Amino acid sequence: MSRTGAPRRDLAGAPRRDLAGAPRRDGRFLNPGGEAAGQPLAAVWKLMRAGQGEAWPPRVVDPPQPPPEEPPPGHLAVTLIGHDTFLLRFHGGPTLLTDPIWSERCSPFSFAGPRRVRAPALAMAALPPIDAVLLSHNHYDHLDLPSLRALRAPRILTGLGVGAFLARQGIGGAEELDWWDEAALPNGAVATFLPARHFAARGVLDRCRTLWGGFAIRTGEGRSVLFAGDTAYGSHLAEIGRELGPFAVGLIPIGAYEPRWFMEVVHMNPEEAVRARADLRVDRAVAMHFGTFKLTQEAIDEPPRALTAAREAAGLPPEAFRVPGFGETLVLPLG
């Protein structure tokens, strides 16, 4: 059933096999399967006392990359701008932007909180016209109010409750989706909001009042692409693969995973990311959520190194799960 209680239908009005929207308890969203999302505050205090882990360099300067261009027919151009911010260009459209953050910090404060070690690899002024922003959830490293205000995107697709929050901040018109809800995109494409095992919060009092998730994009030709958002490993990944896969291309997070006793309920490590690729039925995976903001204890270069080891242990070739350079545009086949 949909969030309105009516039978779920696709954009053409045809009935869909029942897929459960996000469960709730006492006004707060829960993870797939109905378990509470995130860690209790006592665990957060314990983590804060555990130290910062491996030091990161204060600044990393990457080599310049050619500007992104529209891909040829049958291909997707994927440009890593930083963290989970990607420019996705389909031939003939749509042109999409994921979790845009150009700010120096991912924090409620301009003077404190995680500071980026890499500048955005593409200036906002250099972006082509954007058809829609795909906004996975409300954490500061994903929902950046200054960037959204500056972008003036014609559309924002996001989870339940996030649109209302944005409207209170003067950013109107966001379209709210429950898990498995669809939204039409240009050139016959369709976006589907997907379950994720994570949580949402902008402060202490609003935990899980808004919904988190990822996105599937199905082109007018029937090819599928995945933006997984933030998620821990879980059985929801195989469900997504069964329902909407296979995916020609999948953006899968690999970073912010140590210490495991805390992070395992919100983020995957590289070994789990390789397993997730198989569960999701992704052909060519692209790594994200690494090397931009120091959010957890692992070293800055540990996620790509661990991903290479996990990929090789699984017997996969390099093109099966790539770590893009910052600013690099990967032109990947959708066939």
pLDDT digits (tens, 9 = 90+) for 107-153: 999 899 999 999 999 999 999 999 999 999 999 999 999 999 999 99
Residue pair 234/269 in contact by the 8 Å Cβ criterion = no
Looking up tokens 């242990």, which residue turns up? 313
Instruction: Find the mean pLDDT for residues 197-223.
Output: 96
CA angle, 233 then 280 then 251, to 5°: 80
pLDDT at 265: 96
pLDDT at 15 > cutoff 70: no
pLDDT at 179 > cutoff 70: yes
Band (pLDDT 50/70/90 cuts) for residue 310 is very high
Q: Convert the pLDDT of each residue in 235-256 to its tens digit.
A: 999 999 999 999 999 999 999 9
pLDDT at 16: 54
pLDDT at 97 > cutoff 80: yes
pLDDT at 57: 97
Residue pair 141/106 in contact by the 8 Å Cβ criterion = yes
What is the percentage of the chain residues whose pLDDT exceeds 90? 88
pLDDT at 7 > cutoff 80: no
pLDDT at 48 > cutoff 60: yes
pLDDT at 229 > cutoff 90: yes
pLDDT at 8 > cutoff 60: no
Instruction: Find the mean pLDDT for residues 12-39.
Output: 84
DSSP code, position 320: G
pTM for the whole structure? 0.94
pLDDT at 186 > cutoff 50: yes
Which amino acid, one-letter code, is at 191? Answer: A
In the numeric block, which tokens belong to residue 258?
Answer: 């140590």
246 preceded by a cis bond (ω within 30 of 0):
yes
- Closest residue by Cα to residue 160 from 262, 28, 71: 28
Mean pLDDT for the chain? Answer: 94
How far is the CA of 139 from the CAs of 69, 99, 197, in angstroms?
Answer: 30, 10, 14
What is the percentage of the chain residues whose pLDDT exceeds 70? 95
- Closest residue by Cα to residue 226 from 277, 162, 271: 277
Band (pLDDT 50/70/90 cuts) for residue 19 is confident
133 vs 157: CA distance, rounded Å = 6
Instruction: Find the mean pLDDT for residues 221-233.
Output: 97
